[in-house]
Amino acid sequence: MVDDTGPLKDDEAPDDETLAAELVLGLLDSEEKALALRKQLSDLKFAQAVDAWNRRIDPLFQEFQEVEPAAFIWDGIESRLDAGSPGEAVVQMKRWRLGAIASGALAACLALALIVGPMPFVTPSEEPSVAVAQLTGDIEGLVLAVSYNPETAEMRIDVNGMPETDTAPEIWIVGQDGIFRSLGQIGRNGISEMTVPSDHRELINSAATLQLTMEPPSDTPHAKPTGEPVASGKVTFI
């Protein structure tokens, strides 16, 4: 039974269930929030508790009153969608590829377009020449946009929304055999570029997925992941 009388000590640690609710409500300051987000990355049970609290408080959103924003707000948003992206070119590319590419892949193309900025767009007559993947998972806001050029074996990974953790993000290629092969650790935020080791290049095909796990920091790739992937995505050639 909970002692309902005295106040808690300021630094008294909450149980996981309470911590999940505190994270959802936004009660935690930056350091505590970082710890909780890290836990959400590494602890499935805790992540489920966070989801459950999100569902419990969901009806409260109905109580926010609606306030019409000024018209210029949309223009500002729209201009930011254009920033660094080939804009119309994406749409044009979509039109002719629509039948051929699944929607997830389109999202990946788009995310790629957003990160790499204006780039020459292939015309329908050209052969596909680049692989892309968008890696996402259960962590809200965490998204990795990956592009890979088979000719140069250069991989470019744009990380967004990675919470603070002591562990480091490590990228794995997983082929049809289901075996995780590390491509090494990458930056926590922004763009990382690497040359894919020659023995892993042939694995990057349309049957492969890329997986992200959080690992102890290391200069060399690990042999195996220690935890569950926190984000994953299918490789698609465009």
Partner 1 sequence: MPQATETDRTRAQLSRLIGQAASGDRQAFQDIYNLTSAKLFGVCLRILNDRQAAEDALQDAYVKIWRNAGRFDAKRASPITWLATIARNTAIDRKRSGGNRTMVSDDVIKEMASDEPSVLENLEAQEDTKVLNKCLDSLEARQRNVIRTAFFEGHSYNELAQKLNKPLGTVKSWVRRGLKRLKDCMDYG
By CB neighbour count within 10 A (0-12 exposed, 13-18 middle, 19+ buried), where does 171 fall?
buried
Determine if 100 is a binding residue for partner 1 (CB under 8 A).
no
Q: Residues of 63-85 as b/e, b for ≥16 C-beta within 10 angstroms?
A: eeeeeeeeeeeeeeeeeeeeeeb
Residue 49 phi, psi dihedral angles, 5° rounding: -65, -35
Assess 59 for contact with partner 1 (CB under 8 A). yes
DSSP-assigned beta bridge partners for residue 234? 209
Is 73 one of the binding residues for partner 1 (CB under 8 A)? yes
Q: Which residues contact 16 (CB under 8 A, 6 or more apart)?
A: 39, 43, 45, 46, 49
Q: What is the DSSP letter of 80?
A: H
Task: Rule CB under 8 A: choose which of 45, 48, 57, 193 binds partner 1.
Answer: 57
Q: Of the ranges 28-36, 180-188, 190-198, 222-230, which one interacts with partner 1 (CB under 8 A)?
A: 28-36
**Contact stretch for partner 1 (CB under 8 A) within 105-113, 147-155, 169-177, 184-192:** 105-113
| Residue 134 near residue 108 (C-beta atoms within 8 A) | yes
Which 8-state DSSP code applies to residue 49?
H
21 binds partner 1 (CB under 8 A): yes
Binding piece for partner 1, criterion CB under 8 A, among 135-143, 169-177, 191-199, 218-226: 135-143
From the CB of 99, what's the least distance to partner 1, in Å?
Answer: 13
Q: Which of 36, 132, 143, 159 binds partner 1 (CB under 8 A)?
A: 143
Residues of the shown chain interacting with partner 1 in the complex, contacts defined by CB under 8 A: 2, 4, 6-10, 12, 14, 17-18, 21-22, 25-30, 51, 54-70, 73-74, 76-78, 80-81, 90-91, 94, 103-104, 106-111, 114, 134, 136, 140-141, 143, 160
